[in-house]
Amino acid sequence: MTRTSLTIVLAAGEGTRMRSSLPKVLNPVAGRTLLAHVLAAAPRGTADRLAVVVGPDHQAVADEAKRSRPDADIYIQTQRLGTAHAVLAAREAIERGAEDLLIAFGDTPLISAETLARLREPLGQGASLVVLGFRAANPTGYGRLLLDGDRLVAIREQADANGAERAITLCNAGVMAIDGRIALDVLDKIGNANAKGEYYLTDAVGLVGELGLVARVIETDEDEVRGINTKAQLAEAEAVMQARLRAAAMTAGVTLISPDTVYLAPDTTFGRDVVIEPFVVIGPGVSIGDGAVIHSFSHLAEARVGAKAQVGPYARLRPGTSLGDGAKIGNFVETKAAQIDAGAKVNHLTYIGDAHIGSGANIGAGTITCNYDGFGKHKTEIGEGAFVGSNSSLVAPVKIGAGAYIGSGSVITKDVADDALALERNAQTSKEGWAKRFRDMKTRHKTPKPG
């Protein structure tokens, strides 16, 4: 039987040490906010509920919580009086009852769903409270875990710890699981008689012991529980997350020629035999099909790359790009809201925005879809097998028929029929012998410069 759960994520903190106007939990790691990472790890079965505690005036944090987990209920902690006080802001959710109460922090983005599941296990096996612990390289600032055998007897906050306690390196990661039947009783008993005058969630451990119940610790790696307070810690978390994503991609069969130079997003999906060359950045919402190659210095976000398609080097696929199988996007090409069907080629120095390009079409170097008139965006449609000559401007809205040719350098403002040739430029004139006469005239009184 699966146990029912309520996860409460605390996100009412201030990001003062970030020196930023952005609420701390809205900073991104791998293109996703800290909060969204934590919420993605929270249980999401039919037996699971989710609550997020935000500070007053933090509508943006509440919006982000709803965006990443529409099933989340939002609670507001009106005054920042400590972690136990923050949990009780979601009192109503706790009162509704769940077998397991999980508490996590919104600024600890590397926590995994597997660890949260592991944390719950002892609750079904006699423990009433479980804390996630880790061995800190530098324990300063963390709550220290005081053990008696394998029982956890207390958590001592840095400010309240004596010298011997400060020497302990086993620390509180801040994630806790409590038996739902006793959670509210215990939380209500927590007082604020400590060095900081805060309601410490960590006091729940001692109170569970006083009830004659058992608290335990499960350990995890420090990398998984890095809390983020500064931009430097944000960059460390990014490095840990990217290392994880690269390792997962390679395990899934992706060839990363220089893994450390490739940036991925947690939702990137790969087919078989994908190759990613050095220095590629992949933002959120990207899928890459079987056998596709992403050449160096390309940037992709919210884009689909079909099987055996080729991208770059130096390509930028912006949101809404969809490349069919075998399509080619070459250097210095930017695409946005563009469907580019199978086998079409856009090889050089081109902008394709708000467009549909039929299969097998060839778009010459320097082609621009003029999609914006300063007010609205307009669509360009290019039929199957069409050939757009280099340096053409396609002024949208406009349609180029299947199999049509556009002469190089044309500014196309009217629709072109299937299989037609459209030319929009002056007829070429030629003056026989002109260049020679010109040179002769210029050099009559002068000897030309060498080289």
| Residue 208 near residue 189 (C-beta atoms within 8 A) | no
What's CA 263's distance to the chain center, in Å? Answer: 10
Q: Which among 83-91, 277-285, 392-400, 430-438 is the span making contact with ligand UD1, rule CB under 6 A?
A: 83-91
| Residue 361 near residue 388 (C-beta atoms within 8 A) | yes
* CB-nearer residue toward Mg ion: 202 or 335: 202
- How near is the Cβ of 404 to ligand UD1 at its closest, in Å? 59
Round to whole Å and give the CA distance between 186 and 441: 101
143 binds Mg ion (CB under 5 A): no
Beta-carbon-side half-sphere exposure of residue 48 (alpha carbons within 13 Å): 19
83 binds, among ligand UD1, Mg ion, none (CB under 5 to 8 A by kind): ligand UD1
- How near is the Cβ of 86 to ligand UD1 at its closest, in Å? 3
Q: Which residue is nearest to Mg ion (CB)?
A: 227
- How near is the Cβ of 322 to ligand UD1 at its closest, in Å? 39
Q: Which among 100-108, 114-122, 269-277, 319-327 is the span making contact with ligand UD1, rule CB under 6 A?
A: 100-108
Round to whole Å and give the CA distance between 405 and 387: 5
Q: Which among 120-128, 224-232, 351-359, 423-431 is the span making contact with Mg ion, rule CB under 5 A?
A: 224-232
- List of residues 6+ apart from 338 with CB closer than 8 A: 320, 321, 322, 352, 353, 354, 355, 356, 357
Q: Which among 57-65, 222-230, 303-311, 434-442 is the span making contact with Mg ion, rule CB under 5 A?
A: 222-230
- How near is the Cβ of 141 to Mg ion at its closest, in Å? 8
Q: Which of 340, 336, 281, 265 is nearest to 310 (CA)?
A: 340
| Residue 27 near residue 34 (C-beta atoms within 8 A) | yes
What is the identity of the amino acid at 94? I
* CB-nearer residue toward ligand UD1: 196 or 425: 196
Q: Which of 164, 157, 152 is nearest to 141 (CA)?
A: 157
Residue window 217-236: x/- pattern of binding to ligand UD1, with contact defined by CB under 6 A? ----------x---------
- Tell which positions 130-159 bind ligand UD1, by CB under 6 A: 142-143, 155, 157
Residue window 301-340: x/- pattern of binding to ligand UD1, with contact defined by CB under 6 A? ----------------------------------------
What is the identity of the amino acid at 230? T
227 binds Mg ion (CB under 5 A): yes
DSSP 373-416: -SS-B--EEE-TT-EEPTT-EEESSEEE-TT-EE-TT-EE-S-B
- How near is the Cβ of 148 to ligand UD1 at its closest, in Å? 18
86 binds, among ligand UD1, Mg ion, none (CB under 5 to 8 A by kind): ligand UD1
3-state secondary structure of 32: strand
- How near is the Cβ of 48 to ligand UD1 at its closest, in Å? 21
Q: Site residues (CB under 6 A) for ligand UD1? A: 10-13, 53, 77, 80-83, 85-86, 105-107, 142-143, 155, 157, 171-174, 200-202, 227
